[in-house]
Structure 1
């Protein structure tokens, strides 16, 4: 029997960030792979069904890892980064900065860098946002808007990745440099539930190809 959580222990609601385009692309790829592979399993002759099964066992975990799995979950105490093959949990006190250049990245105080796979950067969206800000500046005789896309300005029109980075920076700055009560320690966990089936499938493909 588990003991109840103490009443004075703080709880924090997570804000989650994902890529809608990645989710949609992952679902379409899974439907395509399972459709083609299932047809080969049901109608194939000889070694074809086994090759199809091994191929699906390799492809499905990889597709899930790069499209459906990536997630960033953050609250006032910590940030959890779920990348294709690793899950990184960090208290905000360990985070030095969050940036969006050509990719979204988090830096710790010791210089370690983690990429945020769930927050892909779209240069097209960024250019569109900059053009919108430029038009707003031209329409504003008092120059109250900026023509420069700044991820720190959450009120400006910004690309989705830049806005997400601004939100994460706000959470980090609000948390400060001291660990929040009950905040977890830094940890990195490998996603063996994704890696293992993909490796097994790849080995089966090599064995079946070698013994053909």
Structure 2
């Protein structure tokens, strides 16, 4: 059985890692310069910044397996069986259309900016899966939407070529409640810390 393939945007991943490393170094610097008092005074605002970087750029992803494509966004996670996939496009982001008309966009695979789209070469688009008349700069090789869409299209094509059942239905969408709860708690703690610092300042 083929191993699942997970896509995350490279640029966002690098930015998130840099942000988290800076936050970690900042906490270490506070301990060395001000001891535990400085750490407790700024821990939650710094932790909130690091959490936000992880939440926005590392947690969202697109995972493809032999049986389904899973799109994990910030608030919700969608699992679409290949038999329920009607079409795949990349106009605004990687978007999976189900047979009942749902359109599920991936936060992890946004389309390129207008400036990037204008700079896209024809050969960067021509190498990607899809019909020539329908391919656009957001399908281009090297873009987040293009790379993710190519992965999904190739797996969908393999599924259909090997005779997978084209049965509609089975798509599930779940709220990422634990992420919401942690985010609310971390932000509340950071705001309380900043308010306390302002009151004592």
Q: TM-score, normalised by structure 1?
A: 0.67
| Number of corresponding residues | 185
- Per-residue CA deviation, residues 78-108 of structure 1 (Å, 9 max, x unaligned), is 0011223332211012222221113222222
Q: Distance in 2 between matches of 1:55 and 1:205?
A: 4
The reply to whether residue 26 of structure 1 matches residue 13 of structure 2 is no
Greater shift after overlay, 84-93 or 184-193? 184-193
Q: Distance in 2 between matches of 1:46 and 1:21?
A: 34
Q: Which residue of 1 aligns with 2:76?
A: 86
Q: 1:131 to 1:172 in 2, by over 3 A?
A: closer
Q: Which residue of 1 aligns with 2:188?
A: 203
- Per-residue CA deviation, residues 29-58 of structure 1 (Å, 9 max, x unaligned), is 111222224433553489753341111332
Q: Is the 8 A contact 1:61 1:197 kept in 2?
A: no
The reply to whether residue 189 of structure 1 matches residue 174 of structure 2 is yes
Q: 1:64 Cα deviation (Å)?
A: 0.6
Pairing partner for 1:65 from 55, 71, 83: 55
Greater shift after overlay, 31-40 or 72-81? 31-40
Which protein shows a greater Rg?
Answer: 1
Q: Would you tell me which structure has more helix in proportion to its own residues?
A: 2
SS in 2 for 1:116: strand
Unaligned runs of 5+ in 2: none
Q: 1:159 Cα deviation (Å)?
A: 4.3
Unaligned runs of 5+ in 1: 1-10, 137-145
Q: Distance in 2 between matches of 1:46 and 1:159?
A: 45
Q: Which residue of 1 aligns with 2:159?
A: 175
SS in 2 for 1:115: strand
Q: Which residue of 2 aligns with 1:130?
A: 121
1:37-48 to 2 correspondences below 5 Å: 37-40=27-30, 42-44=32-34
SS in 2 for 1:26: helix
